[in-house]
């Protein structure tokens, strides 16, 4: 007997729900105004959490201008 594997033909994109949507929007606006963004919004959120933990020892650093600028500098050094 063969094993049948079902696969969806189409999966609808759904907007992810972010924990800090206002802050993420500010971060994205800054990044797009000052450079080219080659990753998804979800990846930006993931990297911002990583940055916050490394630099500020918190899960989510308050998205003030100087923090966002530091994040942009940090992000520019990341290779994926």
State how far the Cα of 33 lies from the Cα of 69, in Å rounded to an integer. 12
pLDDT at 31: 96
3-class secondary structure, 75: helix
Q: How many CB atoms lie within 10 A of CB 14?
A: 6
pLDDT at 29: 96
pLDDT at 79: 86
pLDDT at 20: 85
Tell me the pLDDT of the chain (80 aa) as tens digits. 566 677 767 766 666 777 888 999 999 999 999 999 999 999 999 999 999 999 999 999 999 999 999 999 999 998 87
Pull the structure tokens for residue 26.
């500010």
């Amino acid at each position: 007997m063969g094993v049948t594997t079902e696969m969806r033909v189409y999966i609808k994109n759904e907007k992810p729900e972010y924990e800090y949507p206002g802050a993420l929007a500010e971060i994205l606006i800054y990044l797009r105004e000052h450079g080219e963004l080659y990753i998804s919004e979800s990846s930006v959120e993931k990297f911002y959490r990583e940055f916050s933990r490394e630099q500020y020892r918190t899960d989510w650093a308050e998205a003030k201008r100087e923090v966002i600028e530091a994040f942009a500098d940090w992000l520019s050094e990341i290779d994926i």
